[in-house]
């Protein structure tokens, strides 16, 4: 069942930072994040979402191992300071070191600088990710913010319907998806993401990298998709700070009009497991 969301709640203004920052430079990416947070706060945002592996860069080869840090490492401390300074929550991607293992992770910091959630990518994409990362084992990670239940996944994860449906059944209202989506898979950003939002009756914030990094050409097209299947905000192919509202009233109305979760017949789906 979806969570009950009061239509009296104020919309959560959400900023999507479409950028590749400075791959390989944590200091450069923190500076870019500081500037984006200032712009998002000036635009009235209460949440800023960054792309996959934003803190370190994505296509950085063995830099993944060199720049990986614990979940509460120096990068997390720096992001927490930025969040508290601008009074907005921040979700950022980074390589998380846990002993000998490295995870492709995303961490959510609250507007007071307090950590709210940490997620490890469960579905690794391609030889590059499988070489450097260990897959996560916890598919549904959530946190509460501004009266909404936020869920987190990373890039390829959203392309698995079962993954997103698990979030819907757990009551996720806004699914945050930092991504590194590349050519020639533009259809994921254009078509799959809005469909995921509609079929699961949630908002989806899909936030991509841009430009060429090593062998990868990131295509941008970040989007905030609504539960009615419409794209509430869409970026182009370059660097951009995109801002849109997550409206609890629309969420409640759309769920009432499209009761997919109520009309499910789970007993028929045993073959999926």
Q: Which residues belong to the active site?
A: 52, 121, 155
24: burial class by Cβ within 10 Å (0-12, 13-18, 19+)? middle
Please give the C-alpha separations between residue 18 and each of 4, 33, 265, in angstroms, as whole numbers.
31, 11, 39
183 within 8 A of 217, measured Cβ to Cβ: yes
User: Is the CB of residue 163 less than 8 Å from the CB of residue 157?
Assistant: yes
Whether residue 220 contacts residue 268, with contact meaning beta carbons closer than 8 Å, is answered with no
Give the strand pairing for 141-145 and 115-120.
Answer: unpaired
Beta pairing, strands 12-18 & 47-49: parallel
Would strands 223-225 and 231-234 be described as parallel, antiparallel, or unpaired? Answer: antiparallel
Look up residue 270 and give its DSSP letter. Answer: G
């Amino acid at each position: 069942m979806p969570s009950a969301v009061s239509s009296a709640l104020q919309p959560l203004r959400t900023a999507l930072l479409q950028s590749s920052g400075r791959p390989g430079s944590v200091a450069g990416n923190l500076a870019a994040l500081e500037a984006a947070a200032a712009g998002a706060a000036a635009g009235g945002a209460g949440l800023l979402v960054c792309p996959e592996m934003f803190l370190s860069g994505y296509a950085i080869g063995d830099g993944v191992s060199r720049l990986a840090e614990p979940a509460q490492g120096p990068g997390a401390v720096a992001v927490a300071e930025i969040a508290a300074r601008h009074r907005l929550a921040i979700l950022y991607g980074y390589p998380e070191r846990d002993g000998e293992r490295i995870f492709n992770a995303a961490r959510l910091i609250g507007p007071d600088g307090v950590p709210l959630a940490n997620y490890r990518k469960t579905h690794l994409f391609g030889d590059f990710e499988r070489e450097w990362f260990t897959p996560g084992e916890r598919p549904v990670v959530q946190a509460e913010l501004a009266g909404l239940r936020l869920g987190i996944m990373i890039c390829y994860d959203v392309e698995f319907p079962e993954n997103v449906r698990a979030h819907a059944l757990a009551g996720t209202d806004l699914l945050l998806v930092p991504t590194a989506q590349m050519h020639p898979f533009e259809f994921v950003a254009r078509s799959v993401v809005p469909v995921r939002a509609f079929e699961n009756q949630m908002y989806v914030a899909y936030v991509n990298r841009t430009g060429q990094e090593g062998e990868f050409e990131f295509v941008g097209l970040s989007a905030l998709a609504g539960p009615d299947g419409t794209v509430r905000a869409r970026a182009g192919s370059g660097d951009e700070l995109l801002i849109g509202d997550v409206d609890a009233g629309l969420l409640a109305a759309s769920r009432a009009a499209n009761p997919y979760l109520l009309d499910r017949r789970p007993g028929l789906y045993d073959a999926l497991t």
